[in-house]
Amino acid sequence: MATVELTDDTFRETVEGNDIVLVDFWATWCPPCRQFGPVFEKSSETNPDVVHGKIDTDAQQRIAAAAGITSIPTLMAFREGVLVFSQPGALPAKSLQEVVDAVKALDMDEVREAIEADASRAG
The pTM of this model reads 0.93
Whether residue 30 lies in the annotated active site: yes
pLDDT digits (tens, 9 = 90+) for 3-62: 999 999 999 999 999 999 999 999 999 999 999 999 999 999 999 999 999 999 999 999
List domains and CATH numbers for the chain: 4-122 (3.40.30.10)
Pairing of strands 20-26, 51-56: parallel
How far, CA to CA in Å, does 51 sit from each of 13, 108, 116? 12, 18, 26
Whether residue 100 lies in the annotated active site: no
Distance, in Å, from the CA atom of 11 to the CA atom of 27, rounded to the nearest integer, reads 17
How far, CA to CA in Å, does 53 sit from each of 5, 34, 71, 111, 123? 6, 15, 17, 23, 33
8 A C-beta contact, residue 47 and residue 18: no
Catalytic residue among 21, 30, 64, 76: 30
Catalytic residue among 33, 64, 77, 100: 33
